[in-house]
Each structure stands twice: as C-alpha cells, then as structure tokens.
Structure 1
Amino acid sequence: MTSGVTSVRPCDVLCVGDVVTDTAIDLIPSDSTTTLPDEDGDWLAMRLGAKLPFADLKIFDAVGNAANAAVACTRLGLRAGIATDVGKDDAGQRIIARLDEQGVDVGLVHVHPDQQTNHHFVLRYGAERTILVRHHEFDYRWSGPTALPRWVYFSSLSEHAGAYQHALAAWLDDHPEVRLAFSPGTLQIAGGVAPLRAIYRRSDVVIMNREEAVTVTGGDHADVPDLLRRLHDLGPTRVVVTDGPAGAYASDGDEHLRLPPYPDPAPPVERTGAGDAFASTLVAALARGETWRTALRWAPVNSMSVVQQVGGQSGLLTLVELKHLLSRADERYEPTPS
C-alpha cells in the first residue's frame, strides 16, 4: 500500500525517480587501501579484515538523480515537483521535509508504511567515490498529477519498477503536450533498451555519459558521432553524451556539436551529482525557453560548481549565479560542430 497526495498545482518540471539518503564516508589513504589501474577505470581495493581509518562522515537526505534534478530546477527559478517513493520511517520524513524546504512540490511522494527508505553509502577516496547501493522493493504505482507539468524529467529507478515505467510511458502517450527528458540511471542502463523502448521513443532529449551510451547502443567508445546516431535510432529528438572533463557532445538530428567543459576554478573535491547537475540544468534552460545552444552552454557551468563541494546539491547554482559565471566565460566557450 502507498499513500500520497496528488499534486494539483502545475509544475514546470516534474522529476520522476528514486530518492535516497546518502552517508558519505571519507576514507584516509593507508597501507590497507589503494587503487588498482584497469583499462575500464581504477578499482578501489581494501585489505580484507583491516580496520580502515576515515576522516569524516556526512549524511545527505533527499539525494539521488531525481531529487538532485528537482533542487537544481528550483534554484534556477522553476517550479519543480517530484514523484518518488519513501518508507514511513525517520529517513522518509526527513527527505520530505528537506525537499519541501528546497521549494520542491512533494505532493506526489508516496509513503509506504511497511518499508524502509533507500539508503546508500558513498565511499569517498580523493575526488572519486564508490557507492554501495540497495533499492527497496516498493510497490511502485504511477499516479499522474492532476495539473500537467510542462516537462517530465525521468531518471533512476529500481529494477523492480518495470510496471511503473510502462504506466509512465502510457501516461506520456496520453499527454503528448508534456515534454520528456530521460537521463537513465545505472540500473536502467543495465536493464537494457527493451523495457524502456517506449520511453526512448517518446523523449524530447536523452542525456547519458559516454560509457553508458556504449552500453545502451553497443557502439564504439571511440566513435562519438556513431554513438549519437545510434541513440537517435532509439527515437529521441535530441541526444547528449557527456564525457567528464573532456566536455560533452550533442545532436538534434541535423547538427552534431561538441561542447568544452566550463573550466574548474580548482581541482574537483567530489564528482557526486555532476551528471545530474548537467542534465537537469540543460532541461531547466529548455523549460525556461532558452535555445538548444544556450541550454548546452548552461549545463556544464552547474556541473563545474557541484564538483567543487561535497554532495550532489551543495554546489547547485541560482539563476543569477549561473548567468554571472556565463558572463565571465572565455569566448571559446561555445558549442562547435564536431
């Protein structure tokens, strides 16, 4: 059973996806911890049975892809809501209170009386992090808002939410005036294209990183134009492939663009939430009526700001702050044909 109040006030952006509490643990490099290089990315290695020192511990309520996106949109001056699921426990109540404090409409938060709220553990090792993840098996049930949002921003959900995703896709088909942005989460990427084919086909814009694009499309990591074409073949109108410090690539079907990163003022403190900041800021710009190229210029600025602080929301910018940083950008900070 779930309980929740259907939102009656229209949102500019309704964010849909799981929400979590993160406990971030700062590991101290020691004789018992190290990183091991690998062609697909470094491994974090810890000696079995060791007592590992840590420097700090922080708890972040109301995070995760959809929550980070909702907070980003509110800070950029939009009315944002969230459709998500929590347990009827202290963590669930803190999450609702935190989102409400940030100005996010919580009318579509479903509270499950016999479940615990999702809780992740983030092992921070320098600027990198490894996340221990568990998604509870909520009785996911989609109930659309009575007042239609202009955009839906759909992101990470549990592997147990297949019926929910199908119901969301059917609701979107019934409301073609609602625009859809899809930034798939790790479990959705791992689940393959087939369960989400209707979502890809319905999307106005799909955003994912380069490694995810390879997994989804089966394309060549070295051939970004082909990755963009393969993503278009799934149906979305516009696609964006982010590439970490190397920037991002985008296509509207007619033109392929490359966007450099907005320069970091200092080495990154932590990369948690950088992808969420990029994707949600791109969507927020479009929801505010900005052009495609302007939206592409906005997105890396918020991503840069987020990696300068710990946590996925601490560095999220207001509209005034973002425009100020854009005004200081080098003239070469522009999308260029790739």
Structure 2
Amino acid sequence: MNYDIITIGDVMRDIFVFPDLSDMEKPVSDEEIESKEPFDKFLVFGLGDKIDISDVSFSVGGTAANVAVGLGKAGFNTGLISAVGGDSVGSELVLDIKAKKVGVENLKIYKNRKSSFSVIVSYKGERTIFVYHAFKPSDFVLPKEITANWVYLGPMAQGFEDIYNQVTSEIVKKNLKVAINPGSVQINRGLESLGGLKRLMEVIFLNREEAHIMSGLSGTPQIKDIMKVISFSGPKTVVITDGKEGAYVYSEEKFLKVGIYPGHRIDATGAGDAFSTGFLAARMKELPLQECLKWGVVNSASVVGKIGAQEGLLSSNTIKKKVKEYRWPAESLRFS
C-alpha cells in the first residue's frame, strides 16, 4: 500500500496513575539547585509505602504510534513499523491501532515475548514515567521497499544504526522525505550519531535541552546559536520546543518563533508528539513554516488538556479553525 507517511518506532501500553501526593512534594535542596533548574521538584515515596491512587487510565502510547495516529486523524494515510508481543496487551494494541485507521501490515508480532508498556505517575499536569522497552530497533522489520512519501523516525535504543542505514538507502533511491525525533541514545552521542541521514532529513524535532546537548555547545548558548549548529550539520528544518516559551523553527537562515496556545493542562504526556504531528501535518500540506508552528502548538495544547497521548489529537479542519480564530501575538523573528 502507498502511504503518505510511515512511522518507525515504539508502540506500547500506557498506564496512567493519579496519586494524591500533596503531602509528599519536596522542593530540591539548595545544593541540588546548583545543578538543576530552580523549578525542579521531587516526589518522594517511602520505601515499602503503600500509596493510594485516585484514578487509573489505560491508553496506547509510543512516539511512532502517537504520530501515526495523529497524522491519520489529520487526514493522512499512515502506516506503522513497530513490534508487539504475543500477549493480551499486544493484541489490544494491534486492534486499537487498526481501529484508528493506521496500517499495521509492518507491525511485527513476536508470539513468545511481552509487549512494551509504561507506568506514568501523573501529578499537577506533570508526569514521571517508568518504561519497559520490550523491543530493540533490530526487532522492527522494514519492508523490502518503503512505499510512502514521508518517513518519521521516533526515538530508538541501541542498535538504531541499521534502521537509519536502510532509510538512508531508500531516501537516495526514491527521494523520500524524512522527519526524525531523536531519542536519548542519539542525543547523548551528538549530531554524528545521525550519520549520513542528517544531510538528507527534512525536519528534526528536539526540545531545548535535547538540542543543547546534541549541538555540543558548552555554557548557556542562545537558542539561535543552537539551531544554527544543528542546521549546519545537515537538516533542512530544525524545530525546537521550549515548554512555556513556545516553539522555534530555523530553515534557510530564517528563524521563527510562536508562543504557546492557551488551554487547561491536565497531563503533559504526548505533548511533544502532538506538536510534531501538527507541525508535520501542516508541512505535508506545504503550508508556510509559521503556520506549521501554529499547527504544532494548537495540537499540543489540545493533547495536554486530556489524559493520554492520543485522546486530544485534532483533525486538520479543527486545527485550521483554531489557528484562524486565535489572535496570535507578534511572534516572528528573523536572523540578521
């Protein structure tokens, strides 16, 4: 089947728990503030404690799955390359993804293995995530021929190089467009971890901290300098999210910024994936970069207003309507 986009990476069961930890919140000490942002906090559990929770929720997660589902909701024909176990969780994941109109012919089922899952402790709109990655990149089976206009690469663990090499080969043969959201393995290795792929990719998505690490710059560089370094290494479009500060894009020596879109924040899980989905949906429609940013922050704001990474994903028509109706502050900047 020919797809508009195929995503490659994790799909997993997300288990959300909502504990009442108001009496357990503890600011970081003065000594720890020296090495952490001042707004960081700990949630402290006593070893052996039994903690009551007020609610629990189950959903489908994993960056590649979230983006595939989100772009499907935006009206694109999407497929997922990933892996699940032969357990009941794996069966549920496959059924859920299929029900959301995502192609699953390249979703490999390993009968004698468990599926990936995460336990997400959600508190005051933030979350702490415990993740069980059941599969390595080598478990993702790429077809002999990728029949899509775009490929999206989600975060990947050790052994990602073979996937990158296969995708690079397909780009050269078919002129595919590639977007990537590097994971901690790639980020900590720096830009060289992207290999030859970095000079062929259309878009790279990072948050500010990740971008700083990946750039290799020391000290506290300006966001523009970080983006220039990453752009110079190859990616055509560098996109950085920066929490409450909004998001930035740098492409062809043009630097643009957009602030956040207002909304009630319930759970931050999937905010970055939703932003990437909105940005890509606009990019695949060949909209201007500033519009791509707006689509990203609108989609992200909707997702954080719901529980789970997929519940709040919006259709293209809904995003377009919200972008048009909101009175956006002056957000455009340009490099001199």
**TM-score, normalising length from structure 2?**
0.90
Q: What is the rounded CA distance, in whole Å, between the counterparts of 1:31 and 1:332 in structure 2?
A: 39
CA contact (8 A) 2:83 2:135 kept: no
Q: CA deviation at 1:32?
A: 4.4
Structure 2 equivalent of residue 159 of structure 1 = 158
Moved more, 165-174 or 285-294: 165-174
Given candidates 303, 308, 314, the residue that maps to 2:300 is: 303
Structure 1 equivalent of residue 259 of structure 2 = 260
Structure 2 equivalent of residue 4 of structure 1 = none
1:16-165 equivalence runs, <5 A? 16-32=8-24, 34-36=26-28, 38=33, 39-40=36-37, 41-61=40-60, 63-138=61-136, 139-144=138-143, 146=145, 148-165=147-164
Q: What is the rounded CA distance, in whole Å, between the counterparts of 1:305 and 1:137 in structure 2?
A: 30
Alignment partner of 1:281 is 2:273: no
Q: What is the rounded CA distance, in whole Å, between the counterparts of 1:56 and 1:316 in structure 2?
A: 22
* RMSD, aligned CA: 2.0
Q: CA deviation at 1:234?
A: 2.1
Q: CA deviation at 1:93?
A: 1.3
Structure 1 equivalent of residue 167 of structure 2 = 168
One-letter code of the match for 2:12?
A: V
- 2:55 partner SS: strand
Q: CA deviation at 1:19?
A: 1.1
Q: CA deviation at 1:143?
A: 2.1
Identity of aligned residues (%): 27
Corresponding residue pairs, total: 326
CA contact (8 A) 2:21 2:43 kept: no
Structure 1 equivalent of residue 316 of structure 2 = 319
Q: CA deviation at 1:178?
A: 0.8
Deviations 1:102-153 (A, max 9, x none): 1111111111222211111111121110111221244425423646211111
- Does the C-alpha gap of structure 1 residues 35 and 109 become closer, same or farther in structure 2, counting only changes over 3 Å? farther
Q: CA deviation at 1:198?
A: 2.3
Q: What is the rounded CA distance, in whole Å, between the counterparts of 1:253 and 1:289 in structure 2?
A: 16
Q: What is the rounded CA distance, in whole Å, between the counterparts of 1:44 and 1:169 in structure 2?
A: 42
Deviations 1:31-54 (A, max 9, x none): 445453642333332222222221
Q: CA deviation at 1:323?
A: 1.6
Runs (5+) with no aligned partner, structure 2 = none
One-letter code of the match for 1:242?
A: T
